[in-house]
Amino acid sequence: MIRFSNATFSFKGSAGVSDATFSVDEGEFICIIGPTGAGKTTLLRMIYMDAIPQEGSVEVAGFSSDKIRSKQIALLRRKVGMVFQDFELLDDRSVFENVALPLHVIGMSREDVHSKVDIVLDKLGLTEKSHNLPHQLSGGEQQIVSLARAIVKDPIVVLADEPTGNLDPAASFKILKLLEAIQESGTAVLMATHNYNLVKDRNYRFFEIIKGQVRVSSG
């Protein structure tokens, strides 16, 4: 589903990703660990084709970085859910509207948007907060909204970039459990974190990245 073949993306003053070769299958849970600035975010950006490799190639869900055109990048991103450390929610829109955004983008009808968002909010325990604005929620709740937005379009993979970076330990653990539930439902998850203590006892496949060099281990 995801294949890196000697992929390199480098930029001035940062490690980037160097000569990465690995693959990820459907429904896998991958934990990318490494210190800040090691290249974790760049690796994820290469998957959603925000960073096209200068050497080698990246293939995701049939789209190859060698041949992909800008219109196809939009289509690829509809198959990829993304979660960020700072949530990336729209402050002036309710929880419901934030979660519904990817469905409007793919042109789903209003009725379908409503039922789909209601199901996801119910699954993640956010139904009562659906009319709230993001600033009326705790950090943990905002990250759950971000997760809801990532999974509402039934992606093949969820990319989580330091999803627990701004959360307290209890909220971090909750997010981790939700990501595991998403993976158990058949969606692959790639989570980048510098907090090794949070994930060291989990039964994940680990990618360690240091100064852009990716080392695949079994965890």
Residues that bind other proteins (CB under 8 A): 48, 70-71, 74-78, 82, 88, 90-92, 101-102, 104-110, 149, 153
Least separation in angstroms between CB 64 and other proteins: 18
Q: Which is nearer to other proteins, 90 or 119 (CB)?
A: 90
Least separation in angstroms between CB 132 and other proteins: 18
The distance of Cα 162 from the centroid of its chain, to the nearest Å, equals 9
Least separation in angstroms between CB 113 and other proteins: 8
Q: Which is nearer to other proteins, 77 or 129 (CB)?
A: 77
Q: Which is nearer to other proteins, 105 or 119 (CB)?
A: 105
Could you tell me the CA-to-CA distances from 145 to 86, 133, 140, 219 in Å, in that order?
12, 11, 9, 29
Least separation in angstroms between CB 9 and other proteins: 18
**DSSP code at position 135:** G
The whole-angstrom separation of Cα 213 and Cα 91 is 37
The whole-angstrom separation of Cα 171 and Cα 153 is 24
CB-count exposure of residue 36 (10 Å: 0-12, 13-18, 19+): exposed
Least separation in angstroms between CB 104 and other proteins: 5
Q: Which is nearer to other proteins, 90 or 216 (CB)?
A: 90
Q: Which is nearer to other proteins, 56 or 102 (CB)?
A: 102
91 Cβ neighbours under 8 A, 6+ residues apart: 133, 134, 135
206 within 8 A of 219, measured Cβ to Cβ: yes
